[in-house]
Amino acid sequence: MRVAVLACGAQVLSGLLEEHGSGRRREDVVCRCGERMESQGVRRKDLLTILGPVVYRRSMFRCPACQATRYPGDEALDVVGTTRSPGLRRLMARAGSQSTFKDGRDDLQIYAGLTVSAKDVERVAERIGQEMEAWSQRERQRVLDEDAEPEKDVPVMYVSYDGTGVPMRPEELIGVKGKQADGTAKTREAKLGCVFTQTGLDEEGSPIRNPESTTFVGAIEPAEAFGWRMYGEARRRGLSRARRVVVLGDGAEWVKNLAEMHFPRAVSVIDLYHAREHVSGLCRTLFGSNEKRMERRRQSWWALLDAGRVETIVFQARRNLPEDPERKKTAEAEIRYLDKNRERMRYTKFRAQGLFVGSGVVEAGCKTVIGQRLKQSGMEWTVRGANAIISLRCMMKSNRLEDYWESRAA
């Protein structure tokens, strides 16, 4: 029954498309070179749609000067250079972004009765991802160029970003330094950022993230390029009308540098969990030979950290430096980290101001936006392919798919 219904629908659709794609045109068809193009009759095109295969006949035009060709019907239907309808491409892009391309192929067959190959799903998903990336870049650039003011003030805007490794093909790792014993790498770092807002506190005085306010951006790219990506997204979200801006992240130098460059007036907060990890590492280095003493000191220093008393931790740690050169070197590195970032660890003050002190949103994003799709067992990516899927998933997790498809329809 379903097959018969879809076949009838495909036949009706074929007739509608033929009326749209051919016939007399009210306006001349003009080539990019400026010359008026001449009709060359009707050409057939086989389209695969969500109803199944459809035969589509449309008018072809050729430029007498440069010999370029155009199919105005294809342009109007958004099928230039493809034999997949927009609706089908949308399904294939979503299927390819959710799981493996083979799983996407199987899902389309089971749920929609559509027969496509895994390679088809891959090509379409990556192409749509690349087109979404280009659209996002144009949108961010337009916001920067026009300097448009948002309609409403934003009480508190959070900007948070982090990095996570994505497994890559060997040719993508040439010259890349890594953590393996020989200094080589198996992954490239994908940088992911998010912007979200806060307007109030709960009954206990804890901050509440505004529902549906989180948007993501990400790519495998240098920190400088990612900084402009992050800044552009913050501007798009209303940075100029934010009464307070908070940058949440770990203590990595690139995180700090981007905050100072693009968000110099922001309150900069090091994620409490990362800070605790550094304190725990310091305890292991100083007191690892005595587990009970190490645990007592860890609990004590975590309490001091929560209170924002980083100087006390640094003072006490320096009094307990080991004589062993390697352990001493490791401990001093952790102490320097705490000391130079102490103003970004005033957690009692931040909490009193009703601010978040954890970067859980972006860390969860690294797992859900990137990890669940790009870090499955046996996967190896090209930078081009990974960035396309990252762009697609960022758009999905930001609830902006409809914005993109509406822009295409327009």
Domain ranges (residues) in the chain: 2-83, 154-269+382-409, 274-345
What sign does the CA torsion over 68, 71, 77, 83 have?
negative
**Mean pLDDT computed over 192-214:** 93
Give kind and range of the element (H or E) at residue 164: strand 154-167
- The better pLDDT of the pair 179, 124 is held by 124
**Mean pLDDT computed over 187-202:** 95
Tens-digit pLDDT profile for residues 319-356: 999 999 999 999 999 999 999 999 999 999 999 999 99
Percent of the chain whose pLDDT exceeds 90: 75
Band of the pLDDT at 184, cuts 50, 70, 90? confident
pLDDT score of 238: 93
User: Dihedral, CA atoms, 384, 390, 392, 394, nearest 10 degrees?
Assistant: -150
**Mean pLDDT computed over 72-77:** 88
Res. 186: pLDDT tops 70: yes
Question: Which 3 state secondary structure label does DSSP give 100?
Answer: coil
Res. 40: pLDDT tops 70: yes
Res. 4: pLDDT tops 80: no
pLDDT score of 265: 94
Residue at token pair 């695969």: 48
pLDDT score of 173: 94
Band of the pLDDT at 262, cuts 50, 70, 90? very high
pLDDT score of 180: 82
DSSP 48-85: EETTEEEEEEEEEEE-TTT--EE-HHHHHHT-TT-SB-
pLDDT score of 23: 63
Res. 10: pLDDT tops 90: no
pLDDT score of 145: 83
pLDDT score of 326: 95
User: What residues have CB less than 8 Å from 64, skipping those under 6 apart?
Assistant: 35, 37, 38
Which tokens sit at 347?
């957690």
**Mean pLDDT computed over 291-313:** 96
Q: Quote the mean pLDDT of the chain.
A: 91
**Mean pLDDT computed over 108-119:** 91
**Mean pLDDT computed over 70-82:** 90
Tens-digit pLDDT profile for residues 346-399: 999 999 999 999 999 999 999 999 999 999 999 999 999 999 999 999 999 999
Band of the pLDDT at 148, cuts 50, 70, 90? low
Percent of the chain whose pLDDT exceeds 70: 93
Residue 110: C-alpha distances to residues 3, 102, 105, 197 (Å): 13, 12, 9, 40
**Mean pLDDT computed over 212-238:** 96
